[in-house]
């Protein structure tokens, strides 16, 4: 659970190298900020872990046309006409830094398995709120950011947009992320199809 409000900072793919470059070139840029990372290069859970380690209070992860719509963002180039994603598509999946149930990290979650206590299992889960979104929403945020231009290799695929490192919004507002996840034990089924 969590609600955070702050200024946005674009962190490219959110790799350790991306954060280290920001810290070297623009010290303190990510401290207390909501970081925006595009999907790709590393696992989404590592993006969240890196963001927290470099002082971000929240993380937005977005699909970028450079990876999600490589043939263009026109309707004929997107699902259902192709497998490329439109601007409202959101990637789903776990952020846990372990496989399976965080209570039995990397082991089967069977009745007789040893279960980690809450403090130990939290080491596998994000410590900051994280929200995924598509490139339509990302464009609205990125177009309203102020700050220095991001390096050329950090530029993404949203048309007619120069990706900025940011640090504030042009209207003086703040970006908010609200996450309402509950740590509850649930039974889920694995559906396996065979031919």
Tokens of 63: 């699909």
Q: What pLDDT, on the 0 to 100 scale, is given for residue 23?
A: 95
Q: Coil, strand, or helix at residue 166?
A: strand
Question: Which of the residues in the chain have pLDDT under 50?
Answer: none
In the chain, which ranges are continuous DSSP H helix? 16-25, 44-53, 65-68, 118-121, 135-143
Q: What is the pLDDT of residue 1?
A: 61
SS3 content of the chain, % helix, strand, coil (to 5): 25, 20, 55
Cα–Cα distance for residue pair 177/118, rounded to 1 Å: 24
Instruction: Please give the pLDDT value at position 124.
Output: 77
CA Rg value for the chain? 18
**What three-state secondary structure class fits 24?**
helix
Q: Are 43 and 57 a contacting pair, CB within 8 Å?
A: no
Question: Among 62, 61, 64, which residue's Cα sits nearest to residue 49?
Answer: 61
């Amino acid at each position: 659970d969590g609600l955070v409000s702050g200024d946005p900072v674009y962190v490219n793919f959110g790799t350790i190298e991306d954060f280290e470059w920001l810290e070297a070139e623009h010290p303190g840029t990510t401290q207390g900020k909501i970081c925006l990372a595009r999907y790709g290069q590393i696992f989404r859970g590592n993006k969240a872990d890196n963001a927290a380690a470099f002082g971000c209070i929240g993380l937005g992860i977005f699909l970028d046309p450079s990876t999600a719509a490589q043939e263009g963002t026109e309707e004929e180039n997107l699902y259902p006409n192709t497998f490329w994603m439109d601007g409202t598509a959101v990637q789903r999946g776990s952020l846990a830094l372990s496989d399976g149930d965080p209570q039995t990290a990397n082991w089967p979650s069977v009745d007789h398995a040893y279960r980690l206590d809450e403090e130990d299992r939290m080491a596998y889960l994000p410590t900051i709120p994280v929200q995924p979104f598509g490139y339509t929403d990302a464009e609205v945020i990125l177009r309203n950011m102020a700050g220095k231009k991001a390096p050329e290799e950090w530029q993404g695929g949203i048309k007619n947009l120069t990706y900025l490192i940011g640090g504030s919004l042009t209207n003086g507002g703040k970006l908010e992320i609200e996450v309402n996840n509950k740590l509850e034990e649930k039974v889920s089924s694995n559906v396996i199809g065979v031919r």
